[in-house]
Chains A and B, each alone.
Chain A
């Protein structure tokens, strides 16, 4: 038999399996929290926003109150980097809020969700990776400029390295390993959080686009 011949019976079967809910049941549902990925992302974005604001205030404080020039630059640069990230996070939050408030066609809805999640993953990854060279360069600058005011620096390096070349070789190796570790960890972490979900949504978009 064809679908059209069974239309009314299938329709009936689809509505008979559950008992109806009262207005009170629905009112109670409205007080609960949603479990959708986009709402979880929204909650993550709010956490990022508060963390960024906290970090900016802290960096700005150390940047201005820092005793020397290197400290000033070091923390001010981090405050600026975090502020840039904050702007991106606020933009993404606005997009997710707009998405929740509208009932887009299925395909556009899927495309928007994929775009938002991919943007978040991309920016998060860029920010994390961008912090590594920034940390490294400014840490070196700090040591170079103010090695006199960091009394332990000379003792530590002197105990382990005979020449400056050796020390730089160690630092380069250390930062390379750290960068590789953070690179793979961040990729794995983001993929684990959203990777499979994004793949499934992309598959749905492909199915909708598929045409003979």
Chain B
């Protein structure tokens, strides 16, 4: 029987991983809560077999991504997209170009497929292509090809989102 206290302490220390995955995969607060709960439960069930060969954070990423990718809501509360106009903006009158670019990029990541989101997430965490490949179950070369394609797509979408934003602010 795995040690519950030890698990809770470890998860507490690494809960940022869970927030990242939940925020990336769910746009609604209630859905994020559900996913957080689901990942915690799945991690607890698998914890008995965690041997410590890999870092806990790497293992937790694997469990969290597996859960997020296979987690489907019965009914969508809202469309699962991150449109730039859905991101709450409290500073519309103070234009910050970097903040707008982050929002546009965030929205573009939100439009990626579930598997591409997972690759981006691991890339953002500075895992190399080999490690990403191991976690995803594909080769490092394949990760490199995918990452190139994702970067191009994100760049294009970010430019489109920014252009939309600039057009809106000019006419509002």
- Chain A interface (Cβ < 8 Å from any Cβ of B): 1-4, 6-7, 9-11, 13-15, 17-18, 20-23, 26-27, 29-30, 32, 34-38, 100-110, 113, 197, 200-201, 204, 207-209, 211-212
Contact = CB atoms under 8 A, between A and B. Distances in A.
A29 B22 contact: no
Nearest to A27: B8
Contacts, number: 151
Interface of B: 4, 8-9, 11-12, 15-16, 19-20, 22-24, 32, 34, 36-38, 40-42, 44-46, 48-50, 59, 62-63, 65-67, 69-72, 98, 101-102, 105-106, 109, 113-116, 118, 120, 123-125, 134-138, 142, 145, 150-151, 154-155, 158
A3 B118 contact: no
A25 to B, nearest CB: 9
B46 A102 contact: yes
A211 B142 CA distance: 7
A104 B70 CA distance: 13
Contact of B158 (A1, A9, A100): A1
- Label chain B's interface by main secondary structure: helix
A21 B8 CA distance: 11
B13 to A, nearest CB: 10
A27 B118 CA distance: 27
Contacts of B105: 1, 3, 6, 10
Nearest to B43: A103
A109 B69 CA distance: 10
Given A6-B101, A9-B102, A26-B11, A105 B137 contact: yes
